[in-house]
Amino acid sequence: MPTQPEHQQLAETLIEAYLASVVAESHELVDPPTSSSSDSDYHSNSTASSHDESLPTPSESILGMLGTLYSRRYLVEHQPILKSGGNLRLLLMEWKHNRPEIFWAHVRITPECFDVLLAALQLDPVFQNQSNVPQMAVDAQLAITL
């Protein structure tokens, strides 16, 4: 079974916590906690209640965290990877033949599947250039697309 990205794991944990807090809050609304009938308790409860109304509920806090999580692509900042035509040549000439696991990590298909797909597409008229403008090789176009 494939591993889940940390981002997805955190999202699922927050969703579970949100659902649990909504259930707890709904139980509290249906069956509120009982308090003693003394005036001092009533006064302190009403003060606490008015103070609590300004604070977000746990479910509202969790929704805020989910919103923040979904507004970010990464949990930690990533450094850009420099790319050049050399990388494409390395992918198609070296990694495809000698390091299929690296090839797969880049294009998400095996070298064998890539070759079958390339053979099926290579003769398509879309890849036939009838002009004087040079066109990139079909295998390079396919690798970029994948």
Tens-place pLDDT, residues 8-27: 899 999 999 999 999 999 98
- Cα separation, 137 vs 127, whole angstroms: 9
Range among 30-34, 51-55, 102-106, 110-114 rated most confident: 110-114
- Cα separation, 55 vs 52, whole angstroms: 5
Whether the pLDDT of residue 64 is over 80: the answer is: yes
Query: Taking the model in full, what pTM does it have?
Result: 0.46
Tell me the one-letter amino acid at 78: H
What pLDDT, on a 0 to 100 scale, did the predictor assign at position 126?
A: 86
What pLDDT, on a 0 to 100 scale, did the predictor assign at position 80?
A: 72
What pLDDT, on a 0 to 100 scale, did the predictor assign at position 122?
A: 92
Largest Cα separation within the chain, whole Å, is 94
Whether the pLDDT of residue 1 is over 70: the answer is: no
Region 116-128 average pLDDT? 91
What pLDDT, on a 0 to 100 scale, did the predictor assign at position 131?
A: 84
Region 126-141 average pLDDT? 87
Cβ atoms of 57 and 21 within 8 Å: the answer is yes
Whether the pLDDT of residue 36 is over 90: the answer is: no
